[in-house]
Structure 1
Amino acid sequence: MADLPTSGREVIDLVASGFTELPADTSPESDVDGPIGWPGYDAARGRARQRTGEHESVVVGTGEVDGTEAVLIAFDFGFLGGSIGRRTGDLIEAAFARARGARLPVVSLIATGGSRMQEGMRALTQLQRIARQAALTRREGLPQLAVLRNPTTGGGWATIGAGADVTLAVGGAQVGFAGSRVRPPGDPDAYTAAGQYASGHVDAIVEPGQLPQRLGRWLRLLTRPAAEPQPPPRALGSHGAPAEPPATGWDAVRRARAAGRPPAESYVEDYFDWREELRGDRCGGVDDGVRCGFGYRNGEAVAYAAQCGTATTPAGFRTAARLVRLADRLRVPMLTLVDTPGAANDADAERAGAGPAIAELFTAVASATVPVTTLVIGEGGSGGALAFASADRMWITPDAYFSVTSPEAAARILKLGTGDVPATADRLRLRPQDLVDLGIARGIVD
């Protein structure tokens, strides 16, 4: 896959229009050969300026990305490998300050080898400075997006790259904390964009030609939240299934487990005009049975977290919690779709922190100040399902159920036989109409 240009200005020209550069200090450095007197450093900077036409390794300013104004931070790899020095920190700090002052999102177009060793610890401490600016901007409720070009390593990856709200990567790019000359022998794929995507550290791999459109879509989603709580999706209904609620508890369970029942993907596609997905828990885990992202509906953005009918792993709960916290900070209303037999409870799930992960999502939903709307579309299996659910804005479809535990598990706990499972389902009062009567669900959607 082709890479983006190494020039910061060329990348800006690719993704944005009307770019206005922020003023920068172009006076010569007062300390010849830098703060630690690295031999030949001044000459190296001079050659870099001549080669690139830039005075530093980043170009910063404002521009319009597919209709949304944003602050742009573009690294120029031709300037000393896009390395981060003191003046790089000056420019990045100015960019974040401009974003806060103008209430604009930040887009970082990264290509860097890391901190500039010719400036020693002065360069390394710029990472703390950058992290501080990103944190201040996050506190203001402004979104941050990163595009990982080739290469993105060291402190650039470990601050505004991995620390962004949404992280996109150009396919084929080298991405990792360790650069190619210092990493130990081992799996080379771990240091690629594809490897970081597989591990849940990157949200999407993007072709260079798609980048302007994908960035524009993400910026619309993160800056145009829906103003009101969203209605639940309509019930899609199984082909040939009755529209009325089930007669018995066991009927409800069988209908929820039926192979022909519409999955979460169908509900998401029906509800949104278009959408973009977040991937991974940023702890090395991905649960493909949980889909999270932001969707555009009637010209406004809504966040969504959807269970897809499988047992939810700790990575799934953490990914959903990541989404809820981001949506809350950006004031984007939430939609959750519940469909799981329950939380994964095998030994691997316990070692990965099933309990803490579920607690994390419960806390995120309980702490959210934006409205969270829930629709139960299939199985509602115990706490693993309830963690995804709103406490006061829950609806259910006619072919779904919600229960404190599955009828089979309840029968085992009570030391009953398999023949007692249907009657146990009735006793659990898990039907859609039971949930309405109990005040758990607001209603059964049509």
Structure 2
Amino acid sequence: MRRRLTARQAIAAVTDDFAESGTPPGAEIPADGPLSWSGYADARARATARTGEEESVVHGLGTVGGRPCVLVSFEFGFLGGSLGQRTGDLLEAAYGTALTRRLPLVSIVATGGSRMQEGMIALTQLQRVARASARLRAAGLPQFAVVRDPTTGGGWATLGAGADVILALPGAQIGFAGSRVRPVDADPSAYTAEGQLAAGQIDAVVHADELPRTLGRWLGALGAAGVGESGVPAPVPDALAATGLPATGWDAVRQARDSARPRAGAYLDAYFDDLLPLSGDRCGGTDPGLLCGFGVRGGRPIAYVAQCGTATRPAGYRTAARVIRLADRLGVPVLTLIDTPGAANDAEAERAGAGAAIADAFAAIAEARVPVTTLVIGEGGSGGALALAAPENTYVTPDSYFSVIAPELAAAILKRTPDAVHATADQLRLRPQDLVELGVARGIAAPETTAADG
């Protein structure tokens, strides 16, 4: 059986240094707790003797990859890392330190949930954590969770699932229901880190030896987010193909659909010095055709949402909206790359709430206080593309088009014969130069240069 790290060992495994904070003053608690649960004091004493800890949480100030942060680490050996009234005092103090010092919060979580021996008093600690977490969000401070084995119950539903970025160790048991309370016929894979990643509930599964570097990269990108250049838009990427402007509308469609055309992955690699992907819509879905996350360019964080040429699914729009809103809260500008024939319109997409997901993406862009920059790098298919485009700050590449609808579908709706598709493409005025003339796009990006107006 794999040995479980103690709270302090887990901290030491990721930090450069750490200074524990003292226990904050709190209400006087009877020896056997607020419920006078017989034997509770003895159980706590045994837990202290076994672990050397007075409670299930250790917290303090530390650095990861040279970046300062507030750290919280759960001691699972202390009554299963459960949350009680004193745990709530410690957690609230940690959040308060992060707020006062304006530092990101890193939670290293391993817990079985709320402490039964304290009953509803224990359960209400989750409300304290939720309030403290909300204050950090309102202050524009990021929260990171490292989810260890096991992380269940209220600890998962607050510090874990409530974090902005969720990293999990391989094989970790994760879920609101612990192993002893879930249905006997439940699929065990749904309660693993890998299962939660596939379901869009966490951002990445990270091996223990990679965790310090990964966490340090995240802190380096977002640890000082919202400071300095938050009002400066992300620069427009250079076009990656040396393609001339299309002569006809159908030429524009053909160039955008060329299988050899550069795709989102190539644009992101050329644009950023470091990429930190985020995954999942937190509603049970992922979309492999949409890349989201934060990148670092010239030492500056920029959020990205990039379509990969496929029909974008509801989970993709919800993930995009999540990332855009996080960037907005942290004061980080956003770059979107448009490349889709349109939103997915199959029955599964409709059942998954395609309309609501697209509406939410439109709203996230519309509500953003940080600048959003858009580059259309391929197909711009209808509202499925427009939902992620920045009003008045959209650029196009020479090998792209943007249209109210695909020309084939437009011809079909207008009851035209198939040989009228090319002429319909011309009428739609979907070429890059048409889009600039119409005022839909601000300019055309060129290779090795910034986007040029006109």
Q: TM-score band (shorter)?
A: over 0.9
2:449 corresponds in structure 1 to none
Q: Pairwise mapping of residues 148-227 of structure 1 onto structure 2 (< 5 A)?
A: 148-184=147-183, 185-225=185-225, 227=229
Distance in 1, Cα, partners of 2:142 & 2:186 = 35
1:35 corresponds in structure 2 to 34
Contact 1:6 1:111 in 2 (8 A): no
Distance in 2, Cα, partners of 1:161 & 1:139 = 18
1:236 corresponds in structure 2 to 240
1:59 corresponds in structure 2 to 58
**Equivalent pairs: percent with the same residue?**
62
1:24 corresponds in structure 2 to 23
Distance in 2, Cα, partners of 1:223 & 1:327 = 13
* Displacement of 1:440: 1.0
Distance in 2, Cα, partners of 1:301 & 1:27 = 39
Report the aligned-residue RMSD: 1.4
1:305 corresponds in structure 2 to 305
* Matched residue SS, 1:211: helix
The residue identity in structure 2 corresponding to 1:255 is: Q
1:259 and 2:259 aligned: yes
The residue identity in structure 1 corresponding to 2:124 is: T
* Matched residue SS, 1:137: helix
Q: Pairwise mapping of residues 66-145 of structure 1 onto structure 2 (< 5 A)?
A: 66-145=65-144
**What CA deviation, in whole Å up to 9, does each residue of 1:94-146 have, x standing for no partner?**
00001000000000000000000011111001011111100111110000000
Distance in 2, Cα, partners of 1:209 & 1:170 = 10
* Displacement of 1:220: 1.4
2:314 corresponds in structure 1 to 314
- Structure 1 residue runs without a partner (length 5+): none
Contact 1:6 1:78 in 2 (8 A): no
* Displacement of 1:6: 3.0
Contact 1:306 1:336 in 2 (8 A): yes
Distance in 2, Cα, partners of 1:254 & 1:87 = 65
Bigger drift between 12-21 and 289-298 goes to 12-21
- Structure 2 residue runs without a partner (length 5+): 447-454
* Matched residue SS, 2:190: helix
Contact 2:16 2:66 in 1 (8 A): no
TM-score with structure 2 setting the length: 0.95
Distance in 2, Cα, partners of 1:30 & 1:106 = 28
Distance in 2, Cα, partners of 1:339 & 1:41 = 60
* Displacement of 1:445: 0.8
**What CA deviation, in whole Å up to 9, does each residue of 1:257-281 have, x standing for no partner?**
0010011000001100111111010
Q: Pairwise mapping of residues 244-393 of structure 1 onto structure 2 (< 5 A)?
A: 244-393=244-393
* Displacement of 1:30: 4.1
* Matched residue SS, 1:20: strand
* Matched residue SS, 2:58: strand
Count of residues paired in the alignment: 441
TM-score with structure 1 setting the length: 0.97
* Displacement of 1:26: 8.7
Distance in 1, Cα, partners of 2:146 & 2:428 = 50
* Displacement of 1:67: 1.3
Contact 2:26 2:86 in 1 (8 A): no
* Displacement of 1:25: 4.9
